[in-house]
Structure 1
Amino acid sequence: MRIMSLNAWGGTLHVPLLQYLASEAPEVLCLQEVIHSPETDKADLTYRDGEHVLPQRANLFSEVAGALPEHVAIFCLAAQGMLWDGETPVPSRWGLATFVHPSLPIIGQAQGFVHKGYEPDGFGDHPRSRSAHAVRVFDHVRGRAVSIVQMHGLRDLRGKMDTPERAVQARRFLALLQQVAEPGDLRIACGDFNVEPESATLRLMTEDGLTELVTTRGFEGTRSVHYAKPGKFADYMLVSDAAAVRGFSVVRDPEVSDHCPLLLEL
């Protein structure tokens, strides 16, 4: 079984992104920063937040679902706000997506918020609402259940330091995993956590019995060359049983986002 976690960067590099996902086709794909704009057939829109302006793929969720046509596609929104077609506002939904191949039947799932709650009338002030999604699947090849939870951690304009909000976020994230997982499950937590390796968030998860794979396996960051700011860590993958890991990589080629895909093989 292969599990991938990736911040899709709103589909900024959608051509190589879709090609890569179709080629790799991991059994479970945990995708963050996904746009879903069902009210428009426009391919591209623009996100505006002061001086922060980014191209966005209007219906990235549907496009990834098309690249993985056999997978069950689940969209978990955090907020609905406006993206822009020139000067025309377009209602657009922003959140997470999980894609699961039918060879792994979903036998449990839970969706919830790790920071704030659903914002129906705009993306809101920073730090904005953040959702998380957990699925419990059954691996018939190995005869075991695997519980996987992902989140896109809150973005604090001051940086990636420990804050009370991030502490609450981490506890809610683990609680969602615990809600889905049953005794004996292999547990996996992943996503763009927006924290540093020495953060209290990762310490809390380690204390819960999870082993973090990015730093313990010597990777020097998870951001691609498209990310020019300081601080090269954001994304993490943790497992409850390191002996179950057949392989793990931070994928740097091809470049499909300003984040690198994390690819776990069990």
Structure 2
Amino acid sequence: MEIMCLNGWGGKLHEVLLPYLNTATPDVLCLQEVVHSPTSDKDWLTYRDGDHVLPQRANLFRDVCRVLPDHHAIFCPHAQGTLWDGEMELPSQFGIATFVHKSLTIIGQTQGFVHKDYSPNGYGSHPRSRNAHGVRVYDDNACRAVSITHMHGLRDLRGKMDTPDRARQAQKFLDVNQQLSQSNDISVLCGDFNLEPESETLTILATAGFTELVKAHAFPTTRTSFYKKSDKFADYMLINSFTAVKKFEVINKPEVSDHCPLFLHI
């Protein structure tokens, strides 16, 4: 089974991202920073937050569904706010999505908030709402169940330091996974955690029995050349059975986001 985790950067590099996903076609894709604007047929809208202005692929969820037609698609918003078409405001949802190939049987699902709650009337103040989604699938070829849970960790404008909110987020993330996973499952946790490799969060997850694979394989970064800040880590993937890992990669090329895709073959 192939599992990919990626922050899609709101689809900013969609002209590279979509063909890449169409070719890679992982069995399970965990995607963060997904935009869904169901009332708009625009391809592009603009996100504005003070001097933070970004182009957003207005219907990235739709776009990925189209290039992965053989996958079940689940979108989990953590907020509905405003994107802009020139000076026109349009409602748009922002969140995470999970894509599961139809060859796998989905035998369980769960989602929950790891920071704050759903924000229906704007993206909210920082640190903003964040959620997690998990699927439990049965792999007929391997005759086993696999649980995969991902989140987009909260973004703190002060940086990626440990905070009480992040410690609570880690425990809530584990709680979401534990609602889903059974004792004999291979269990995978992943996402854009917005944290450094020495963070308390990764210690909490390690104490719960998970091995973090980016550090274990000594990859030097999970960011691409599009990311200009000095910190070079944000994305992590963990597993409760290290012996099940056949291959793990942080994919540097092609650059499809300011984050690198994480790829796990079990």
**Pairwise TM-score range, normalised by the shorter structure:** over 0.9
In 2: Cα distance, 1:30 partner to 1:256 partner = 15
Distance 1:204 1:211 in 2: 11
How far apart in 1 are the matches of 2:27 and 2:215? 24
SS at match of 2:177: helix
**Which runs of 5 or more structure 1 residues have no equivalent in the other structure?**
none
Quick one: percent identity of the two aligned structures?
A: 62
Q: Would you say 1:17 and 2:17 are equivalent positions?
A: yes
2: CA distance, partners of 1:262 / 1:174: 20
Question: How far, CA to CA, are the matches of 1:226 and 1:94 in structure 2?
Answer: 21
CA shift, 1:176, in A, is 0.5
- Once residues 170 and 216 of structure 2 are traced to their aligned partners in structure 1, the CA distance between those partners, rounded to angstroms, is 20
| Equivalent residue, structure 2, for 1:184 | 184
Q: Deviations over 1:67-91 (max 9, x none)?
A: 0001000000000000000000110
Taking the TM superposition and a 5 Å limit, the aligned residue runs for 1:94-133 are 94-133=94-133
One-letter amino acid of the structure 2 residue matched with residue 114 of structure 1: V
Q: Which amino acid aligns with 2:76?
A: C
Report the equivalent of 1:81.
81
- Partner residue in 1 for 2:172: 172
Task: Give the aligned length.
Answer: 266
Q: 1:225 — aligned with what?
A: 225
Instruction: Mark the runs of 5 or more structure 2 residues left unpaired by the alignment.
Output: none
Structure 1 residue matching 2:125: 3-state secondary structure? coil
| Letter of the 2:189 counterpart | A
- Mapped to 2, the partners of 1:210 and 1:104 lie a distance apart of 24
1:196 aligns with 2:196: yes
Per-residue deviation, 1:206: 0.4
* Matches of 2:113 and 2:221, distance apart in 1: 27
Q: Counterparts of 2:171 and 2:221 in 1: how far apart (Å)? A: 24
CA–CA distance in structure 2, aligned partners of residues 104 and 177 of structure 1: 19
Please give the per-residue CA displacement for 1:14-41, whole angstroms capped at 9, x wherever unaligned: 0100000000000000000000001000
Q: CA deviation at 1:162?
A: 0.4
Match status 1:259 vs 2:259: yes
1:183 positional shift: 1.0
Q: 2:146 matched to which residue of 1? A: 146
- The AA in structure 1 aligned to 2:5 is S
Structure 1 stretches of 4+ with a deviation exceeding 3 A read none
Q: How much does 1:152 deviate?
A: 0.2
Equivalent positions of 1:29-68 (< 5 A) are 29-68=29-68
Question: Which secondary structure state, in structure 2, belongs to the residue aligned with residue 18 of structure 1?
Answer: helix
TM-score w.r.t. the length of structure 2 is 1.00
RMSD: 0.4
